[in-house]
Amino acid sequence: MTLLIRAATPDDAGAIARVHVQSWRETYRDLLPGDFLERMTDRAAQERRRAMWSTLTVRPEPVRVAVDGGQVVAFASGGAPQDYPGYDAELHTLYCLRAAQGRGTGRALLREVAGELRAGGARSLALWVLDTNPTRGWYAGQGAREAGEKQDGALREVRMVWDDLDTLLG
C-alpha cells in the first residue's frame, strides 16, 4: 500500500461522494433501518453529496483525502463546531472504505485534519458517533473520551471529544 494523504480538490468531489455513500452502506447496513439507509445512499443522495463536495474551493475547513493506487479510499473534514458547546472544533466527517481499514488510513486522516485545526488555533475537538457504530471504540482508541449523548428519533449518538488536541497529535 502506498497511501497518500492530500488536500481534496473540486475534482475529487465524485470520488468523495462515492466513498461517502459506499462507506455508509458498509458501516450502517446492520445499524440503521433499511429504508433510511437506502434514502441516504441512493443515486440521488450520491449526486447531492457530489454537489456538496464540489464546493471544496469555498470551504474554510480542511478536507483531506487518502489515495491508494490512484483511487480515493477515504476522506475527512473538520471545522468550526456546530453542536459542541465548550469545544473549539468538530470532526465533520471521517469515512474510509472497508477495504482500506485496518492499515492506518483513518488514523492518518484524523491526525492530518486535527493538525490543520490545531494550526488554526483549535485546542479541542469533538464529534458525534452513532452509539452502535464500531468506530466509537476506534475513536476511544485514538484517545477520545465520551462526553454526552443525544437521541434523534430511534438513533442514539455519543459525543466523543479530545479536550486537548496536543494529546491526539502527540
Ordered by start, the domain boundaries in the chain are 3-169
128 backbone φψ class: left, alpha, beta (φ>0; ψ -120 to 50): beta
For domain 3-169, give the CATH number: 3.40.630.30
Looking at residue 78, what is its pLDDT? 95
Residue 72 CA to residue 82 CA, distance in Å, equals 27
Determine the 3-state secondary structure of 158 from DSSP. Answer: strand
Burial of 53 (0-12, 13-18, 19+ CB in 10 A): buried
Q: What is the pTM of this model?
A: 0.85
Looking at residue 82, what is its pLDDT? 86
* Tens-binned pLDDT, residue by residue, of the chain (170 aa): 588 999 999 899 989 988 988 886 777 667 666 676 566 667 776 677 777 777 765 667 899 999 999 999 999 999 999 887 899 999 999 999 988 888 999 999 999 999 999 999 999 999 999 888 888 999 999 999 999 999 987 778 999 999 999 999 98
CB atoms within 10 A of CB 18: 16
Residue 26 CA to residue 162 CA, distance in Å, equals 26
Looking at residue 40, what is its pLDDT? 64
Looking at residue 145, what is its pLDDT? 97
Sheet arrangement for strand 145-152: 3-7, 63-68, 71-79, 89-96, 125-130, 155-162, 145-152
